[in-house]
Amino acid sequence: MTRDEFVHPQDLAIVEKYEAVVTYLYPILQRCPRRHGALRDRLIGLLFDQVGLLYQAAKSKQPSRLYAADAHMATLRFWLRFAADPALKIVTPRQHAVALRTIAETGAMLGQWIKTTKGNGRSGS
């Protein structure tokens, strides 16, 4: 058995979906011009931190962790939108659209997960 034996496989499917976001954005962000290094580092940090938040939510089964992961994803979208500004030339409009589409797929899964936890009752309050 693996360390993730107590996590429902459906909960980890979101991590696999999010991996597509990381795989797509990481090389793009690595090629960011040096003068935008602080923004690049921030975006990469957000990208990687999201994985931890998803795992924490899956393992803890606490709705508050799901909301934290959702808020973090909104923050990632904000900074990505900022990086897509034509004056910065970090992310092209096409790359931004593709990234948002893959993030939206993960966000939809997260939204469904939040709905599911609401439907299961509010135990532990």
Residue 106, domain member (yes or no): yes
pTM of the model: 0.82
Which tokens go with 111? 């939204």
Number of H helices, E strands in the chain: 4, 0
Residue 125, domain member (yes or no): no
Domain that holds residue 101: 8-118
- Give the mean model confidence (pLDDT) for residues 63-73: 94
Residue 45, domain member (yes or no): yes
Residue 98, domain member (yes or no): yes
CATH classification of the domain holding 34: 1.20.1440.60
In whole angstroms, what is the distance from residue 67 CA to residue 84 CA?
Answer: 26
Predicted local distance difference test score (pLDDT) of residue 58:
87
Buried b (16+ CB within 10 A) or exposed e, 69-94: bbebbeebbeebeebbeeeeebbeee
Predicted local distance difference test score (pLDDT) of residue 9:
60
pLDDT tens, position by position, 10-23:
668 899 999 999 99
Residue 69, domain member (yes or no): yes
Residue 19, domain member (yes or no): yes
Domain count, the chain: 1
